[in-house]
Amino acid sequence: MSIALVIPDRDLSRLVAELNQLLPGVVIEQWPDIAQPEQIEFAVVWKQPAGSLASFTKLKAIQSYGAGVDSVLTDPRLPDVPVSRIVDPGLAQAMVRYLDTMVSVYQLRLDRFIHDQPLQQWRPKGPRRLETITVLGLGVLGEAAANHFIQAGFQVSGWARSAKQIADVRCFAGADQFAEAVKLADVVICLLPLTAATDSFLNEQRFSSFKPGAIFINVARGAIVDERDLIAALDTGQLQAACLDVFRQEPLPVGHPFWSHPQLTITPHISAVTNIQAAARQIAENYQRSQQNRSLLHQVDPQKGY
Ligand code: NDP
Ligand code: OXD
């Protein structure tokens, strides 16, 4: 009856303390210091090294320590057990707050004024007119974002794999309807999962479907975007600006062209950070469910990749 935390390079003391309280008597071990791998029945993982779960021969379930599972499912030696992810209203709230803030930043042209400050340039200009928003991905986070921007008075479209009905949101589905979904948007927000189908999906061809001069915000995964094509779209003015919270390689390497691009605003993957208490409650619940051979909360479909 042991849980392994396979979450490298993080201080896990608060998570361990929460889990000890919620699951008294259950042994919590931290990878790589796993005394008896054959006793591990439940693994909590985030960017686990490939093959690190392979020695857990009694594993019943895997819990991602985040909302995304891309880094979990790409492990070629992942045990064949159910995988679940964190779904937390607090996480959605944090994401909506970040997106709302960034849209205000662009409305007020703060991106330009912050850029002008070290140059000592005084270039006043009125707010940008941003009226239409398209959200790519209408899952837990995308739907929360779409609903928020409807309430805030924007015209909102959304795009997902399957058809959706969300009050006041123009919903589009499937690759055939992508261009239609984005063509009128002043701001396009990416909240897609990273899967085989979305890897490098936002490339030159897709950016060319955007409204000329659109603003792009990526809070999903860096690898959904073709980096060179994004820079080219900024350089030609097809995109007037972009905000990136996520990157193909994190931390974003020193010297990467994104750091110094004047039309880019960068944040270090902080738009919606996993809340330790909320995550611990879901981990405890799913651990108990796995012990009782019940289905897990927020289980993902490995075939779809999310
Ligand atoms: P969900 O799984 O709830 O939703 C995913 C959405 O994307 C669904 O609407 C799905 O369509 C759609 N989708 C998936 N594949 C495709 C495709 N090929 N074409 C069109 N639409 C597609 O995910 P969440 O909303 O919870 O999270 C989204 C992502 O946000 C996570 O995967 C994670 O990578 C990222 N994230 C980033 C954080 C950060 O701090 N930056 C924090 C948390 C999450 P359908 O509904 O039809 O299945
Ligand atoms: C997540 C993330 O997927 O933090 O939860 O990116």
Mean pLDDT of 167-173: 98
Q: How far is the CA of 136 from the centre of ligand 1 (A)?
A: 8
Q: Using one digit for the tens of pLDDT, what is the confidence trace for 108-163?
A: 999 999 999 999 999 999 999 999 999 999 999 999 999 999 999 999 999 999 99
Specify whether 269 is catalytic: yes
Of 260, 70, 250, 102, whose CA–CA distance to 188 is shortest?
Answer: 102
pLDDT at 1: 74
Q: Is the pLDDT of residue 77 over 90?
A: yes
pLDDT interval class at 172 (50, 70, 90): very high
Full strand arrangement of the beta sheet holding 2-6: 27-30, 2-6, 40-45, 61-64, 83-84
Q: Is the pLDDT of residue 104 over 80?
A: yes
pLDDT at 99: 99
pLDDT at 17: 98
Of 299, 276, 271, whose CA–CA distance to 15 is shortest?
Answer: 276
pLDDT at 236: 98
Catalytic residue among 128, 221, 289, 298: 221
pLDDT interval class at 82 (50, 70, 90): very high
Mean pLDDT of 197-223: 98
Give the CA angle between residues 151, 220, 183 to the nearest 5°: 60
Q: Of all residues in the chain, what percent carry a pLDDT higher than 90?
A: 100
Ligand 2 shell residues, CB under 6 Å: 66-68, 274
Q: Using one digit for the tens of pLDDT, what is the confidence trace for 279-291?
A: 999 999 999 999 9
User: Given ligand 2 and candidates 274, 276, 282, which is best to mutate, with the most ligand atoms within 8 Å of its CB?
Assistant: 274
